[in-house]
Chain A
Amino acid sequence: MAEIHLKSLAHSYSAQPRSAADYAIREMDHIWHQGGAYALLGPSGCGKSTLLNIISGLLSPSEGEVLFDGQRVNEIPPEERNIAQVFQFPVVYDSMTVYDNLAFPLRNMKLHESKIRSKVLEIAEILELQPLLDKKAKNLTADEKQKVSMGRGLVRDDVSAILFDEPLTVIDPHLKWKLRRKLKQIHEQFNITMVYVTHDQLEAATFADKIAVMYGGQIVQFGTPRELFEAPNHTFVGYFIGSPGMNILDVKSCQGGVEFNGVQVPLDAELCQFLDEVPSNNIKIGIRPEFIHISNETIKGSYECAVIHIEDLGTYKILTLDLAGNLIKARLDEDQQVPEGRAYVSFPKQWLKLYVDEFLVEEAAQ
C-alpha cells in the first residue's frame, strides 16, 4: 500500500533539453493518495503514458523524484517496485495456459505452489476466468486476454498500485462497460491505488473518484468529475470535458467588464479590478453550453443571436448560435421552446468563467 508522490518531476526524451517544448513532462508536483481510484485524462501525446511509465519505473525521469510513501524510488527498477501495469494491447504469454499466465508473477517470486494455486483461483473467480483456466492463452479473445493481463497484476499480494494504460482500447464497446465495472469492484474490494490512463472522458468519469487532466506535459487540473465540469481550471479542461465543450471567447478588457465585437459582458468589480492589473492580453471568457440561458424574447442582460443550426439528440438539442460573429453552442432541454431564427441568450454570472493566459481567475468570494 502506498502513496505515490511525484516531486518536482520533469522528463525530457532529449539529452539536453533547451526549451519547454523539449519536455514530455513539465515540472510538476502531484500526489496520488493510497487507495484512490484515479484517472489520468488527456489527448494523445500529452505525456500520459510517459508519466505512467515513470511511476512504474519503466522510464527513469530526467528531473525530480518519485516517492512511494516518502521513500525515493527513482533508482529502483520496476521489478522491485510492487507495481502492476496493464498495457493498451493485452500482453499474455502465448505458450502458457491461462492458469500458468496468472501464476507466472507468483512463480517468479518463488512462492509455494499451493499458495499460488489458491491465489490464482481466487483471482480467476473475481475476473470470471475459471472456465478458461486450462485454455492456451493465445486462443483467447481480446477482452479475455486483457482480463488475464489484469489478473497478473492482481494475483500479487504485494502490489500497492495498479497502473492502467488505456486498457480498454481493443475491447468491444459492450464489454468495455462490463470490464470497467469489474475494475471498480476490484478497487472497492482490494483498496489498491489505481491510476487509469485514458483519452475518453466518459471512461475517466465512470472509473475514477478524481481525474487529473493532462495537457502539454502538465496536469492542468485535478478534481472530481463535477469540479472539472463546473469550474474548469484551464481553457483546455473546459474544451476537453463536456460534450460539446465549453464555449470560449476571446475578449478585451473594458470599463466594467469585457467586450468582443461590440458586445459588452459585465463582470464583478473584483474581477474588473484584477483585469486592470494584469499585463496580459490573453483574456477569455468561458461558459458551458448547459448553463447558457436561452429565451425567445429579449430580457434584461441578454444578447441577440442568429440560430445557425439545431442538432436534435433525442432528449435534448444542441443549438449553434452566431453571437456577434462568434459561434457558440447552447443546450436546450426537451421541454424548452425551440427559438426560430433569433434567440436571446444570457450568461448566468456564477457559470461565466474568466481566463487569463488560459488559466481560471477565481473570485475570492466563491
Chain B
Amino acid sequence: MTKVENNKAWFLVLPVFLLVAFSAVIPLMTVVNYSVQDIFDQHTAYFVGAEWYREMLQDPRLHDSLLRQFIFSGCVLLIEIPLGIAVALMMPTKGRAASLCLILLAIPLLIPWNVVGTIWQVFGRADIGLFGWAINSLGIDYNYAANPMDAWFTVLLMDVWHWTSLVALLCYSGLRAIPEAYYQAARIDRASKWAIFRYIQLPKLKSVLVIGVLLRFMDSFMIYTEPFVLTGGGPGNSTTFLSQTLTKMAVGQFDLGPAAAFSLIYFLIVLLVSWLFFTTISHLDKAK
C-alpha cells in the first residue's frame, strides 16, 4: 500500500490549534511582548530588550519572596506528602466507614479558596475564633496578625487542612490497586508491617506520589488567594509570596513591563523544577 498525501488532514487539527492559540499561546505572547518593551500608551512604546529581566533578577523583593516561596512549598511537601500517606494507610478499606471517610476528605477540596482564607481568618482570631482562643487559653501567646511565626504557622496549617486530602485520596486509590496476593505473600514471607510498607506499598504508590508531589508543588508555588485573604501578606512582608509580589507590581503599581518579565521568570521556575523532578524520577526508574 502506498501512502496518499492528503494535506486536508491538517484542517482536522485546526480547531485544537485555534483553541490552544487563544487560551495559551496568544496570552503568553502578550506577556512576552510587554516584558521586552517599555509601554507608555498605545502609540508610545520603546524596545528595552532584556532590561526588565535584568532589573527583576536583581530586585530584592523578588529574591525575598522567591526564598519564602521555596520555604513554603518545601514545608507543604514535607508535611502533606507523609501525612497524606499516613491518612491513606489508616483509612478503612470497605463498608460505610470507607465512604464516610472519602466524603470527609473531599469536603476541604470543594471549598472555594477565598472561603478557606476567610474560615481560617475567623478561626484563628484570639477573640472570636475557636482555634485562636483555644491556643491562647493554653497560655501560648498566639496572634497571626502580629507575629510572623504565628502567621507562617497559620498559613501552613491552612494549606495542610486544605490540601492533604488530595494526597490522601491519591494514595488511597493507589493502595486499593495493590492485589491481595502481595499482602498474602508478605505474610508468608514473615514481613514486618514496616517491610510491607517499604517494599510493597511505597513502591506501588510511586506513580501516584509523583503526581501528588507535582500537583502540590505547582499549586503551593503559585498560591495566592488563601494567604492574601488570611494575612494579606503580612505582618510586614513575612507571608508575601511570589504571586502576591507580582500582583502588587502589575495591578497595584501598574509596572507592566517588569511584572511581565517577573511572571515569565516565575513560569520558568515552576516549569524547571517540575521538569527536573519528573526526569530524575523517570531516570531512576530506568536504571537497571
Chain A interface residues toward B at CB < 8 A? 53, 56, 58, 77-79, 83-85, 87-89, 91, 93-97, 104-105, 108-109, 134-136, 139, 149, 152-153
Contacts and interface: CB of A to CB of B under 8 A. Distances in A.
A87 to B, nearest CB: 4
Contacts of B191: 104, 108
B190 A109 contact: yes
Contact of A85 (B185, B203, B288): B185
Contacts of A139: 288
Contacts of B185: 85, 87, 91, 149, 152
Nearest to A159: B188
Nearest to B206: A95
B189 A152 contact: yes
How big is chain B's contact interface, by range? 10 to 19
A153 B189 CA distance: 8
**Which 3 interchain pairs have the tightest Cβ spacing?**
A91-B185, A95-B203, A108-B190
B184 interface: yes
Given A91-B182, A135-B288, A58 B187 contact: yes
B189 A105 contact: yes
Given A108-B192, A108-B195, A136-B288, A94 B203 contact: yes
Given A91-B181, A136-B288, A77 B187 contact: yes
Interface in B106-135: none
B122 to A, nearest CB: 46
B193 to A, nearest CB: 12
Contact of A56 (B182, B188, B202, B203): B188
B199 interface: yes
Interface string B63-79: 00000000000000000
A94 B206 CA distance: 11
Given A87-B184, A136-B288, A79 B199 contact: no
B271 to A, nearest CB: 29
Interface string B165-186: 0000000000000010110110
A233 B204 CA distance: 47
A210 B187 CA distance: 29
15 contacts: A79-B187, A85-B188, A91-B181, A91-B182, A93-B199, A93-B203, A94-B204, A104-B199, A105-B189, A105-B190, A108-B190, A108-B191, A134-B288, A139-B288, A152-B189
B190 A79 contact: yes
A12 B192 CA distance: 29
Contacts, number: 58
Nearest to A138: B203
B217 to A, nearest CB: 23
Contact of A108 (B189, B200, B203): B189
Given A77-B187, A108-B189, A108-B190, 12 more contacts: A56-B188, A58-B184, A87-B185, A91-B185, A93-B203, A96-B199, A97-B288, A104-B189, A104-B199, A105-B189, A108-B191, A108-B195
A136 B285 CA distance: 10
Interface string B201-242: 011100000000000000000000000000000000000000
Contact of A87 (B181, B195, B199, B200): B181
Nearest to B204: A94
The residue among B181, B182, B188, B190 with the most chain A CB atoms within 10 A of its own CB is B188
A79 B203 contact: no
A95 B199 contact: yes
The CB with the most chain A CB atoms within 10 A, among B184, B189, B191, B199, is that of: B189
B102 to A, nearest CB: 26
A83 B184 CA distance: 12
Contacts of A87: 181, 184-185
Contacts of A152: 185, 189
A16 B184 CA distance: 26
A97 B203 CA distance: 13
Interface in B229-288: 288
A135 B287 CA distance: 10
Best-surrounded residue of A79, A93, A104 (most CB of chain B within 10 A): A93
Nearest to A96: B199
Contacts of A136: 288
Contacts of B184: 53, 58, 78, 85, 87, 91
Given A93-B203, A136-B288, A139-B288, A84 B188 contact: yes
Contacts of B189: 104-105, 108, 152
A87 B189 CA distance: 13
A97 B192 CA distance: 19
Nearest to A77: B187
Given A93-B199, A104-B199, A79 B288 contact: no
B190 to A, nearest CB: 4
B188 A79 contact: yes
Nearest to A95: B203
A104 to B, nearest CB: 6
Contacts of A104: 189, 191, 195, 199
Interface string B7-25: 0000000000000000000
A39 B184 CA distance: 21
A89 B199 contact: no
A108 B191 CA distance: 6
B287 to A, nearest CB: 8
B44 to A, nearest CB: 62
Nearest to A135: B288
Nearest to A109: B190
B158 to A, nearest CB: 35
B188 A78 contact: yes
A91 B185 CA distance: 7
A318 B246 CA distance: 85
Contacts of B182: 91
Contacts of B187: 58, 77-79
A60 to B, nearest CB: 13
Nearest to A59: B184
